[in-house]
Amino acid sequence: MDLSNVYFVIGTSYAGKSTIVKNLARKHRGIALEENYHDAKLPELDSREFPGLTYTRDIEDWHEFIRRTPDEYVSWLDSTTKECEIVELQMIEELLAKPEAKGKMIFVDTNICIETLHRISDTAHVLVMLADPEIGINRFFDRPDPEKQFLYRLMLEEPDPQAALDNYREILTRICSKERYDELLHSGFRVIFRDEDRSQEETVRLAEVIFGIS
């Protein structure tokens, strides 16, 4: 694939990945592949080939999802991320073949891993966005988006809601660990750190400088 017009954004929760992808695409009249864009392929995936991704598609009782131990959850998340990479790369390839994508910048909020990004792209086409790990742990249910509020309601329905919330907090602590943060920080790609005093327009400009676009 010719990825010269494809710009990847990776990073932690609450760092602004989704927002920057949408804002860059809007400003540059490009295409935004937003958070979890691989979900568009979910209905057609084979559960034998993609057991992680299809787990949530085929689940019958969502309470099972929140009852998993932190070890089980993190193992599922890591394997699912690898599956996401396969699907996302296929979708990017399909998009690049479409006439409507010709000559347009494509901004991707991606699950593609650091090692793969180094292999297929370069430091002028990858941006890391980081937020303090404590934000992802402590503010997870503050967001109004339906998925997070759905999970929150499930926990309140459990026989012991506090135990369910404590279990999920431990899951979030594992996901937002310092080790995962440091891996991104030292990935070799340039970083933008979350700053609540910085405007979205200022963040867009920082990203443009990193990507070499204007």
CATH class of 6-211: alpha beta
Residue 40 in this model has a pLDDT that exceeds 80: yes
pLDDT band per the 50, 70, 90 thresholds, residue 118:
very high
Q: Which residues of 80-111 are buried (b: 16+ CB within 10 A; e: fewer)?
A: beebbbbbbbebbeebbeeeebeebbbbbbbb
Residue 140 clears pLDDT 90, i.e. is over it: no
**pLDDT for 142:** 77
Handedness of CA 152, 154, 157, 158 (dihedral sign): negative
When computed from its CA atoms, the radius of gyration of the chain, rounded to whole angstroms, is 18
Could you tell me which residues come within 8 angstroms of residue 51 by beta carbon, excluding any fewer than 6 positions away? 79, 83
pTM: 0.93
Indicate the domain borders of the chain: 6-211
